[in-house]
Amino acid sequence: MQNFINHAKFFLGANSPKGFVSRFDQLYDPEDSWFCYILKGGPGTGKSTLMKKAAKAAEKLGIDLELIYCSSDPNSLDAVIFPTIKVCIVDGTAPHTLDPIYPGVSEKIINLGSAWDNNKLTDVSDDIIKLTNQNSSFHKRSKRYLEACGSIENDTFKIVSSSMDLPKIKAYTKRLSKKLFKKPLGESGKDKIRFISGITPDGIVFFEDTVLNLSSNIFVIDDEYGPVGNEILSNIRIDALDYGLDTISCYCPMNPANKIEAIFIPKLDTSFVTSNTWHPLPLLKDYKKINTKRFLDSDKISSRKQRLSFNRRIERELMNEAIINLNKAKATHDLLEKPYINAMDYKKLNHITNSIISEIFKNK
């Protein structure tokens, strides 16, 4: 697959109606000469800072990188990937716990807990337990609101799906695929799964700059309800893979198993991205627009307009409550970091960080 350009940003975990959904299985391929550094340690022990320092080192050396952000704190990193040298570093703690598949061969565990003073943590053990439980409680409450929001969204999806002209969509995407993909390359392409958006304590975050970094030929699918855009993207994905083109499929956090909201085709410098109320994409200027209304029965949609408007209003309220609780969880997590920060030996931590960076980029 074509290398990522500069700072491609994604999520690999999603706060969703099903709770936290992890796609960290997509991080690296241990059977394709990849090597992964798995960081273990408590909150505030420097995992994200270590990865940011490694990313800066790669940038200075001109090595492409992909940044994987945390959906529970979009200012923090969950992983950093260096695709050209097949190396990655990841936070291997809950909720996306990772363990080695081939220990010592394709992975190395880095125990940042070796740099803390256990006695200092024991002295505040009651606070740590209390804050950990509070954090979990806020996440569970957020999940319940997202679950309710997802139920309403599914109702909208079904209403609009019944109004779609599927043959027209299929014919359109086939014409578009033939125009874009030209001749088949032989073998089937490979697909990577990512999240380009996240439901976070800061609201809904969509990495528009990733679209600009990974593609110059951009198609924006204007789709307020979701079903048409998902159908177009699903068809484009199948066609691209059949033509032998590698893809990056980005799923929607509200339906992380079935609903695609963006696709990248790196070899063609092309992307397809969905625009709607949740992420209107104001930064994208030079693009080709696909209006989904032409694939819908306008009379059917009009007859259900009141119900669709009601659903959207309820969805917003439920989403806001979910985000409020994620924000409370983040505030609790920040408090939880403090005792670990106070217990850390930063001289030892810096030594661990520098050793990893030196090991990764030696001879680069």
The whole-number pLDDT of residue 6 equals: 56
1 pLDDT above the threshold of 50: no
96 pLDDT above the threshold of 60: yes
4 pLDDT above the threshold of 80: no
74-101 average pLDDT score:
96
Where does the pLDDT of residue 138 fall: very low under 50, low under 70, confident under 90, or very high at 90 and above? very high
Where does the pLDDT of residue 186 fall: very low under 50, low under 70, confident under 90, or very high at 90 and above? confident
pLDDT digits (tens, 9 = 90+) for 49-71: 999 999 999 999 999 999 999 99
pLDDT digits (tens, 9 = 90+) for 275-320: 999 999 998 999 999 999 999 999 999 999 999 999 999 999 999 9
260-266 average pLDDT score:
97
225-237 average pLDDT score:
97
Residues 70, 86: Cα–Cα separation, whole Å: 21
111: DSSP letter: E
Q: For a pLDDT cut of 70, what percent of the chain falls above it?
A: 98
Length of the chain: 364
Buried (b) or exposed (e) across 141-162, using 16+ Cβ within 10 A?
bbbebbebbbebbebbbebbbe
- Got the DSSP string for 203-247? EEEE-HHHHHHH-SEEEEEE-SSSHHHHHHHHHHHHHHHHTT--E
315-333 average pLDDT score:
98
Residues 302, 299: Cα–Cα separation, whole Å: 5
The whole-number pLDDT of residue 183 equals: 84
144-159 average pLDDT score:
97
